[in-house]
Amino acid sequence: MYGNNYSPTTISNISKVMKNEIEAYHNRKIKKDFVVLYCDATYLPVRRDSVAKEALHVIIGIDPKGNKEVLNYSLFPEESANNYKEMLINLKSRGLENVLLFVSDGLVGLKEALTDLYPKSKHQTCWTHLIRNIENKVRAKDKLEVAKDAKLIYNSDNIDIAEKRLAEFLTKWSRKYPKLRKMLEGKDNLFTFMLFPKAIRRSLYTNNICENFNKDIKRKLKQKVQFPNEESLDKAIYILVSEYNNKFSNRTHLGFGLVRYELKMMIEELR
């Protein structure tokens, strides 16, 4: 389009076509079964009466075949658990029936909001976010050792070993840093990813898939200092979402091709 001249009518028609495409995207039918849904938000500048950063909420899913897709995105003034729940209600109305696992950070109320709509689903807290939070609770001279010990926990071969290493970690560090015990003790969503086949666990213990997508959005839109309105932001995001889905919706994500039968059986047990 760049380097060409267009009449106001042509530009208007192009805008209408894109608006129709965006509407179709937000109302399309959704596959009924997904192995995992990732939830994350990033803040982007948009003008209403004044310029302020608002939270773009994104949900990315991987189906039993290993195909990856941005299922939904939506803009809200602030990130909150209820916003994700609203988005899930929308996805459910469009065909989403079964989700084996939700992966997210530790946003207050998010785990409950996700599993309230899908009570048979499980939740995994993001270990990448957890490690960051752990590092923020310790002194600079201890950060490397504490992070190394923490990573041993989720790199365990099974839940029994992970729980043993967690206990050892807390014994070693919680006297010096009491807040670590509150962060890690008594949680039921630290090792959920270990209930899944080993071939795909590295994709399930962290929210990196969604977080990396959001980082890519910010990187590609960094030259756009602000969006004049929500509609202009929606168009920009839709283009990036379409590129992502076209690239990944027919590719098999790492490890998923090896465990399709196991995942199919897990979905059947969920019904």
Worst-scoring range by mean pLDDT, 7-21, 98-112, 207-221, 249-263?
7-21
Q: Which long-range contacts (CB under 8 A, 24 or more apart) does 39-42 make?
A: 39/84, 39/102, 39/103, 39/104, 39/110, 39/114, 39/207, 39/210, 40/104, 40/105, 40/207, 40/210, 40/211, 40/213, 40/214, 41/79, 41/214, 42/214, 42/215, 42/217, 42/218
Condensed to tens digits (0 to 9), the pLDDT of residues 183-201 reads 999 999 999 999 999 999 9
Per-residue pLDDT at 15: 63
Condensed to tens digits (0 to 9), the pLDDT of residues 67-83 reads 999 999 999 999 999 99
Model confidence at 13: pLDDT above 50:
no
pLDDT bin (cut points 50, 70, 90) of residue 50 is: confident
CB contact at 8 A, 153 and 205: no
Model confidence at 51: pLDDT above 80:
no
Condensed to tens digits (0 to 9), the pLDDT of residues 120-135 reads 999 999 999 999 999 9
Per-residue pLDDT at 214: 97
Model confidence at 89: pLDDT above 60:
yes
pLDDT bin (cut points 50, 70, 90) of residue 108 is: confident
Q: Which residue has the higher pLDDT, 125 or 233?
A: 125
* The pair of three-digit structure tokens given for residue 99, joined into one six-digit string: 């989700």
Q: What counts of helices (H) and strands (E) characterise the chain?
A: 10, 5
Per-residue pLDDT at 271: 83
Model confidence at 90: pLDDT above 50:
yes
**Residue among 217, 241, 206 at smallest CA distance from 71:** 241
* Average pLDDT along the chain: 91
Per-residue pLDDT at 9: 46
Condensed to tens digits (0 to 9), the pLDDT of residues 201-219 reads 999 999 999 999 999 999 9
Q: What is the pTM of this model?
A: 0.92
